[in-house]
Amino acid sequence: VPSPLSALSLDDLRKRRSEKWLTFPDDVLPLFVAEMDTPLAEPIRAALSTALARGDTGYAHLGQLAEAYTDFSARRYGWSPDPDRIRLVADVMQGIVEVLRAVTAPGDGVVINPPVYPPFFSDLRHADRRLVEVPLIGAGSGEYHLDLEGLERAFAAGAQAYLLCNPHNPTGSVFTRDALLAVAQLAGRYGVRLLVDEIHAPLTYPGVRHVPFLSLLSSATPAQEEAIARAFVLVSASKAWNLAGLKAALLLGGPGADDDLVRIPLDVRFAAGLFGVIASEAALREGEPWLADLLADLDANRALLARLLADKLPEVVYRPPDATFLAWLDCRRLGLGDDPAAAFLERGRVAVNSGHHFGAPGRGFVRFNFATSAQLVTEGVRRMAHALR
């Protein structure tokens, strides 16, 4: 089986110019930002090299990307969104901020579920929205759930919108159909607008089912229907095919969100890159065999990480994620304080994300990106353990 995560040597990777490879000096092993150590999938490489040969470097046009997404979603999740309700945005975070501008006002409360992707805090603050934190409920074993009672309290207290991340970064949780329907019910009761970030959905592991939020419309009760119809969803090929620097994502509006969708200026799409569109279309149309190989590698790595931690750092609590290439490691029993990542970097020369950047519940945690070779996953844990000596 071709192995996307072991195709590149560390020497090759160090020649990269991306955030992952230029942030730290060469004696640091970077396992932080959500990039993957893979070559491009062949169909993407071919599409981009054709575009390069043509000098096709003008402004982005959506082209057939909406249809490519619809077909991908039908094959993968058994549900086809309406391509007429799909808009091109530069990236998921731009899409989130544009939707919040359209459906909320400055000062309005927006609910998020820490520990969660750090730009949810910074970008919402920058957009003058008020953060309303409803932490996930952790079971201690590394398993996390939505706090439905906490959500109801936040909605009842006047929050206007809820930014839900599913699959969830950094915990790797995939929320169930029942949990999502319960969210819709509560949002309907309190008139809260729903934004769902599904960027990690293609990286859901076999045996776990990702439920696209808008697909719930067909099975919703009348009390759940309106909140789903008025929801927005953000998707992208950028995580699963490592295209983040090319800039393209899709904003999906429910059938009750048309009036809001038209209020988002059309030229928002010019922040997207044409190479992002071309690469994403190739990924969604022809990239599933590569994705299957990638998921096999990632599946092996999430299990390898469990074995390595049990052997070298048994105090760390780790539940292999149900989706994503991110491991959320509870390091509180290591005695390294609120920011174990600082010690791992300083003494172990390995860069993982500081958990506290994901909100207060992340204190004492780190996020470990295992989208690399088995060899470098092993080296990463070796360096973390070395930091403790």
Q: Which residues bind ligand PLP (CB under 6 A)?
A: 34, 91-93, 117, 165, 169, 197, 199, 236, 238-239, 244, 249
* Minimum distance, C-beta of residue 339 to ligand PLP, in the bound complex (Å): 20
Nearer to ligand PLP, 146 or 308 (CB): 146
* Residue/partner pairs of 310-319 with CB below 8 Å, 24 or more apart: 312/381, 312/382, 312/384, 312/385, 313/381, 313/384, 313/385, 313/388, 317/140, 317/141, 317/142, 318/142, 319/141, 319/142, 319/143, 319/172
Nearer to ligand PLP, 213 or 220 (CB): 213
Nearer to ligand PLP, 117 or 365 (CB): 117
**Cis peptide bond upstream of 255, omega within 30:** no
| Residue 100: Cβ-neighbour burial (10 angstroms; 0-12, 13-18, 19+) | buried
Question: Amino acid identity of 22?
Answer: L
* Minimum distance, C-beta of residue 285 to ligand PLP, in the bound complex (Å): 20
| 374 alpha-carbon distance from chain centroid | 22
* Minimum distance, C-beta of residue 97 to ligand PLP, in the bound complex (Å): 10
CB-closest chain residue to ligand PLP: 91
* Minimum distance, C-beta of residue 67 to ligand PLP, in the bound complex (Å): 20
- In this structure, are residues 328 and 356 in contact, taking their beta carbons and an 8 Å threshold? no
| Residue 18: Cβ-neighbour burial (10 angstroms; 0-12, 13-18, 19+) | middle
Nearer to ligand PLP, 279 or 313 (CB): 279
* Minimum distance, C-beta of residue 111 to ligand PLP, in the bound complex (Å): 15
Nearer to ligand PLP, 117 or 144 (CB): 117
Q: Where are the alpha helices (DSSP H) in the chain?
A: 10-14, 19-22, 42-54, 65-77, 92-103, 119-126, 148-156, 177-190, 222-229, 258-261, 274-286, 288-312, 340-348, 374-387
Nearer to ligand PLP, 92 or 327 (CB): 92
* Minimum distance, C-beta of residue 297 to ligand PLP, in the bound complex (Å): 19
Q: How many CB atoms lie within 10 A of CB 24?
A: 15
Distance CA 334, CA 349 (A): 17
Distance CA 81, CA 253 (A): 9
Q: How many CB atoms lie within 10 A of CB 311?
A: 10
Nearer to ligand PLP, 229 or 274 (CB): 274
Q: How many residues does the chain have?
A: 389
- In this structure, are residues 7 and 38 in contact, taking their beta carbons and an 8 Å threshold? yes
Nearer to ligand PLP, 224 or 280 (CB): 280
* Minimum distance, C-beta of residue 200 to ligand PLP, in the bound complex (Å): 6
* Minimum distance, C-beta of residue 102 to ligand PLP, in the bound complex (Å): 17
* Minimum distance, C-beta of residue 169 to ligand PLP, in the bound complex (Å): 4
Nearer to ligand PLP, 197 or 297 (CB): 197
